[in-house]
Structure 1
């Protein structure tokens, strides 16, 4: 992917050349950014799959893991490719990834086992046990984090008494783990640390009380570091072996991918909402303080820390995982559907024939997603989607309804009004989803940039490298707005359309209440 209004000489005006490592739940990429003089260009250096690995443990139970060593190796290859693209030496590297998952290091700094995937089933029954020890009200008052079985707090509690946890001396979240292998520095970047449900959102430090509730060894959680600060230099041996510049700095960016994506939201007003749309969809607001009320806890909203002291007040929506996993099931069955054709066919399907709640826990684990969606429709007394196009329409309308419901609730809880919704990430290429979202929310949707996470990563690095024109989020977002392709979708506010969306929302509420 190459973006946008780059000058013929990318080094004009003293541009810095930074490499963004952006690891998503289904793929990873390394992008080279050139930033300076009012210009921003991005070139993809490498893209690679991020496929989970299924194993069987000593008890014969199937387990799901990340191939973190493979990700590291492919990251190094991507950085080597980026170093060859720029024409001038790289200024720095920044790493972001998904949240909550971690690796454990022993006393010598060696990785203990293979990191678990958050979709592994070992945490399914742990949250009620945890809440018997520490009330939900107390956990939320400290962390402001929504309750999900995938949270790091719950994952660690599930490993109580296991030899691996007993022998561990340091816990590093995934981007921090890769940063450690590059530099030897063991730290926890704040935006990702805040997602763990182990972090005090007010004090911006680990909570001893919740570390005790997770039953983790003392000292396991490393020192925290704010985004935009030096982490360290790439090891000389790593640099020489992979053709990287000697002493290449690694910078702590917003290492939670959503934190970096929100940096690159091209907002021109404070009255905006956002959807960071990929495998997961994160729907919310940017605030300057957390919302820790009982109403917020009951609504299961989360307060994750962002760049420059901001708070990402949001809720996870299952996202395009439903469609991605459906397409995988169709491929296994010998039906390989082209996504563009599938979306075109879905746009012609009958509206609102079947809608569901995409956050139903039945959709969380990998498996036969079309069969699960069919079962959910039957339970709700709605027609079963009979074709891939009909199922795609069902998924996208259901997501648009979930976005509208989540945004409306966020605004009520935070006492905030929004005039525009920014949809960033890979999902912004889905024109049908963007238009459905505008219609469901009743406000304009601005779609783009696609590579928002990598762009936010790069902008924080560029500021750390001395680009004084990127002093704050408004300046960073102005550069995104002036250089990246964006598309605006206006809502259909006709009475018939508004009524149809309201009726569809009622059906989803009824089905959720009955289940």
Structure 2
């Protein structure tokens, strides 16, 4: 038996987990979990990376105490955010969160340097203020004195990998989210750095995922090898998809926010791809993940939070079960409307949308839930149609992973709306993908055996398109 450790950092919590390979099965154990969130400091929205780092080390030390056969560790996070270091390897200012308002303030300055269409042509990434490229331009415009001090820019998983190993690197999967690479992310785009007025010396050459970073240098963890197991959480999830041989599958990572994508060899950068907001990020195995970002279960979560604030505690499973008995709504929501992405008063936002469409408000919590889930399913089906127009193909199935895979009504309605089989699970696809990647990289698992290990490890459920 061999154990690998996965550090999975989300935007509201972090976890350290252990995965033990025994024959063709990985037993996954959560060792440590902690909460964190973006904080407002001196008018800036920032991440408390010091606390995150301390919690990571605490979790890893607990893991090696419980699993003395642990051989490796890999870190994955969300995309686009970064840490800037000076020549003495000290942080240059706080680590800003992607929703910090500075990129809105400097968006016109960004576009004067590089307009949206040319940005997409040069990078394959959909224009967005959250992109690393936009954040770095905002830093140079608003805080040039800090920019002058920068020696190195590391995206967050590579920052924590450096903290673990002392080795600086730039993992292809996470850097592909930056808007600073050529389409498909084979290398950084020198032209983009030049056009945006950013220093190319801030980053080194891209490193392939599924490679070794180096030995861990943290006291008590020196026997671990730090691995690039897919630094982007979605890249890790795609690495763990349960897909039978010969089946063409696309994927949907469904949580508070949803990501719908395909798997291609090359970036898709046509006019249609640009107009539909497609973005091209990298897979752990070197391929490309053309994808759409879609508002996800956030709307339902905000409804529940409002009901609870108003003194009506809710249970998600009970709400979904009741929603299954409700009729199909006559009018569906458009989850892409910007105000649905904003927190607070979600009931009123739903009611206002329906009133605008001439439809009555739902009469019960279950009807609100049915409306939201039907709307998600229709949006996902529309996304599949859009992606099919761009790729010229259509998949045999949709692999739905993440927390949304637990919602069987969502999976049933998505299968019906899309007219295809939906394979739900694994819920913890990012974790499983990180563990598989580490074990493959260090030679403990033959990559050819990965499908069998996924099949024996992942809990999945198939939803047919004819289920109501």
Q: Which moved more, 1:303-312 or 1:105-114?
A: 105-114
Change (3 A) 1:46 1:122: same
Task: Give yes or no for the alignment of 1:220 onto 2:220.
Answer: no
* Residue 491 of structure 1: aligned partner: 465
Contact 2:3–2:69 (Cα < 8 Å) also in 1: yes
Q: What does 1:468-483 align with in structure 2 at a 5 Å threshold?
A: 468-471=445-448, 475-483=449-457
Q: Which moved more, 1:363-372 or 1:294-303?
A: 363-372
Report the counterpart of residue 261 of structure 1 in structure 2: 237
Instruction: Give deviations 1:294-313, integer Å, cap 9, x for gaps.
Output: 11111111111112221101
1:74 to 42, 46, 55: 55
Farther off after superposition, 44-53 or 310-319 = 44-53
User: Cα deviation per residue 1:331-352 (whole Å; 9 max; x = unaligned)?
Assistant: 4444432222222232233322
Cα offset, 1:125, TM superposition: 5.2
Is the CA contact (8 Å cut-off) linking 1:425 and 1:451 kept in structure 2?
Answer: yes
TM-score, structure 1 as length reference: 0.85
Aligned-partner Cα distance in 2 for 1:26–1:385: 31
CA deviation after TM superposition for structure 1 residue 468, in Å: 4.6
Matched, 1:40 2:26: yes
Q: Aligned pair in 2 of structure 1 residues 37, 290: CA closer, same or farther (>3 Å)?
A: same
Secondary structure at 2:148's aligned position in 1?
A: helix
1:156 to 1:203, Cα distance in 2 relative to 1, 3 A:
closer
Residues 82-121 of structure 1: pairs in structure 2 closer than 5 A: 82-86=63-67, 88-121=68-101
In the alignment, structure 1 residue 234 sits paired with structure 2 residue 216 = yes
User: CA distance change for structure 1 residues 379 and 174 in 2, over 3 Å: closer, same or farther?
Assistant: farther
Distance 2:294 2:197 in 1: 29
Shift in CA distance, 221/317, structure 1 to aligned 2, threshold 3 Å: same
Give the aligned partner of residue 135 of structure 2: 155
For structure 1, which segment, 366-375 or 444-453, has the greater mean C-alpha deviation from structure 2 after superposition? 366-375
Structure 1 residues 177 and 332, CA gap change in structure 2 (3 angstroms): farther
Contact 1:53 1:64 in 2 (8 A): yes
Structure 2 counterpart of 1:184: 166
Which of 380, 404, 408 aligns to 1:403? It is: 380
Following superposition, the deviation at residue 262 of structure 1 comes to 0.4
> CA offset at residue 354 of structure 1?
4.3
With over 3 angstroms needed to count, the CA separation of the structure-2 counterparts of 1:26 and 1:359, relative to structure 1, is farther
Query: 1:362-441 counterparts in 2 under 5 A?
Result: 362-385=339-362, 387-441=364-418
SS at match of 1:138: helix
Within 5 A, what are the aligned runs for 1:248-287? 248-268=224-244, 269-287=246-264
Q: State the distance in 2 between where 1:177 and 1:364 align.
A: 29
Q: Hey, what's the Cα distance between the residues in 2 that align with 1:129 and 1:355?
A: 38
| 1:462-499 deviations in Å (ceiling 9; x for gaps) | 0112135224xxx4233212332210111127xxx7xx
Please name the residue that 1:512 is paired with.
none
Match of 2:46 among 55, 65, 71: 65
- Pairwise CA distance, 1:247: 3.6
What's the counterpart of residue 3 of structure 2? 17
**TM, length-normalised to structure 2:** 0.93
Q: Secondary structure at the match of 1:188?
A: coil
Whether the 8 Å CA contact 2:184–2:288 is kept in 1: the answer is no
Question: What is the Cα deviation at residue 369 of structure 1?
Answer: 3.4
Structure 1's unaligned 5+ residue stretches are 1-10, 58-62, 498-515
For residue 401 of structure 1, report the CA deviation from its aligned partner.
1.2
Give the Å deviation of 1:145: 1.0
- The gaps in structure 2 that reach 5 residues or longer are none
